[in-house]
Chains A and B, each alone.
Chain A
Amino acid sequence: MTDSRHLEIPGDEGPDMTAAELALGVLDGDERAHAMRRVLSEPGFARAVEQWRGYLSQLFDLWPALAAPDIFPRIERSIDRLSGATTVVHAQPRGSRLWPSLAALSSIAAVGLLMILLLRPIPLPTVPEPRQNVPVTAPQPTLVASLEPDTKALPMTVVYDQGSGTIRLTQSTLARADRSAQLWVIPADGTPRSLGLLQDRGGTALTLSPILRRHLAAGATLAVSIEPLGGSKTGLPTGPVVATGALAPV
């Protein structure tokens, strides 16, 4: 890192301070996507981002407090609903009735990905290089989602590379040993399509068929349901939905 300290970027836009810029939150679009990929692939860079995050957090001291309205009762009601909702899902596993509400849920659970990446860089499984000839067109953005579990488990990070059609998820511990956790996409038409089963141990990497790839766009909802071993036999989710999130460009 020391050798890049005085590195000037062409165009005289100043030295390379990408780690600091990501921690500060000033990057967007391609620059942010590129920086996020570096967090996943370069441990030194990830450490630098975390160090900057630590430095900058000293600024929280300066943030003026402001008397908050007492919304604690509302928060408690939501927590009750959270655990209540899970019971309802278990008692009435008619998956299809759950889907319309998912899009709303996942938009509320906005992508907290940056925080997840910064607070705890999570190793993602590597994907074998695609062997087929993928036509080279304009670079397509990487999409990400943070799947928020209904339980207190940690959110899962999902990274979808539109170029190669591979989707990678961090470790999941959602399914018991006698069950399978199945990943679905719910595109704009509202009909869930299976993307595959999650590994019961470690992260998951799936290479999607060209037909499935068409359904993975920014705004599409991802969901994980708990199914019998080997996955749903009906082609639609049958078990409780335990995590959801929306795809967004990084």
Chain B
Amino acid sequence: MARARLVEALVRTGEEDRVAFRDLYSLTSAKLFGICYRICGERQAAEDVLHDVYLTIWKRAGAYEPSRASPITWLATIARNRAIDWQRAQTVRRSTPIEDAPEILDKAPLVSETMLHDEQSHLLQECLDLLEQRQRSAIHTAFFDGVTYAELAERQNIPLGTMKSWVRRGLARLRECLER
């Protein structure tokens, strides 16, 4: 199955196997490019960050522990963090969402569904559905666009304290739901 193939490609990449690394790239580059593009907001930057992401993966794959994280989570976390690093290093902040970014759907067509998924995978989405729309939307934006409270508040044109309050209440409710 796809997830097993991905784990194997990642583990063998950790052993400096270039063929496995190429396989890993073809299996995951679309997913990781989607992440970089969404956060960077421009194609050239997203390409540069993607390049960095795979270099990082090459160097760190040896430290991947299959028992601790799903391979796509491990890879996607690297991509998201690298893209956020890039975005926060830019002097001019984007104050509006990028126009042509692919839509994030509330109910996803699971592009890579065979890659992910353990028993818990839909729980978060179910719990997010219980939140007020503005709470859910703020949490979504923070995650997918990689932005801080300050930028969330600026985008919505509301006071910082109000935004913090929305998100915190949303997260608290989410935790109650997740731990139930």
Give A contacts to B, CB under 8 Å. Answer: 5, 11-17, 20-21, 24-28, 53-69, 71-72, 74-76, 78-79, 82, 107-108, 110-112, 114-115, 118-119, 148-149, 151-152, 154
Do A15 and B172 touch across chains, with their CB atoms under 8 A apart?
A: yes
Given A64-B102, A68-B32, the answer on whether A24 and B139 have CB atoms closer than 8 Å is yes
Docked Cα-Cα span, A20 to B168, in Å, equals 9
A-B contact pairs, 17 of them (CB 8 A): A5-B172, A14-B165, A15-B168, A17-B175, A26-B149, A58-B123, A58-B124, A59-B143, A60-B72, A61-B113, A61-B121, A63-B144, A66-B37, A68-B50, A78-B51, A82-B55, A112-B85
Please classify the interface of chain B as helix (H, G, I), strand (E, B), loop, or mixed, using the class held by over half of its residues: helix
Q: Write out the residue numbers on chain B whose beta carbons fall within 8 Å of the beta carbon of A5.
A: 172, 175-176
Q: Write out the residue numbers on chain B whose beta carbons fall within 8 Å of the beta carbon of A78.
A: 51, 55
Q: Write out the residue numbers on chain B whose beta carbons fall within 8 Å of the beta carbon of A151.
A: 59
Do A63 and B34 touch across chains, with their CB atoms under 8 A apart?
A: yes
B77 on the interface (CB 8 Å rule)?
Answer: yes
Given A24-B142, A57-B76, A75-B55, the answer on whether A64 and B47 have CB atoms closer than 8 Å is no
Total B residues in contact with A, Cβ cutoff 8 Å: 81
Do B148 and A57 touch across chains, with their CB atoms under 8 A apart?
A: no
Do A75 and B54 touch across chains, with their CB atoms under 8 A apart?
A: yes
Q: Considering the complex of A and B, which 4 residue pairs feature the smallest CB-CB distances, nearest first? A: A14-B168, A68-B33, A110-B85, A65-B30
